[in-house]
Amino acid sequence: MKSGVKAAFASEMADARSAEAAGDLALAKHHLERAHILGQRWYAAHVKTHFHMLRLALKQSDSKEARGQLVRMIGAGPFHMAGWVPVGNTGGADVSATLPMPIPSDLQSHLEGHSLRNGLIVRGILVVMLFAAYLLFRQ
């Protein structure tokens, strides 16, 4: 993750924590959605935002959102391996997990020039190697 987007992601996550601590859960979700937009191209950051969205949903006793976040946490891996994420998607269970959305103008500059398809061949080789190791070592 480039330093500019990393700093913006960290800032949104910190703002989400601050809003949650202040009891403003709607604002916390807003910042987590912005963090999701910034981090969805990087697997660890992507899953981290879904984890915090899940935690927030559990705090709010929102079972629909919690189920949606669990599904998204599980689905993030295969979609990343395939090189596809719905750009701009806010990551909440209130929107389709496959719906691309406009990126807010103040976040666009952080994401210019990056494509999840970068490294697709390397990820493909990794999948083949993992599958080959599975076939070799299964009992």
Alpha carbons 102 and 83: distance in angstroms, whole number: 19
Q: In the chain, what are the helix, strand and coil shares in percent, each to the nearest 5?
A: 70, 0, 30
Q: Are 39 and 46 contacting, i.e. CB atoms less than 8 angstroms apart? A: yes
* pLDDT tens-digit readout, 14-42: 999 999 999 999 999 999 999 999 998 88
* pLDDT tens-digit readout, 61-87: 999 999 999 999 888 877 777 777 788
What is the chain's mean pLDDT, rounded? 87
Could you tell me the pTM of the whole model? 0.80
Alpha carbons 116 and 132: distance in angstroms, whole number: 25
Residue 114 has pLDDT above 90, yes or no: no
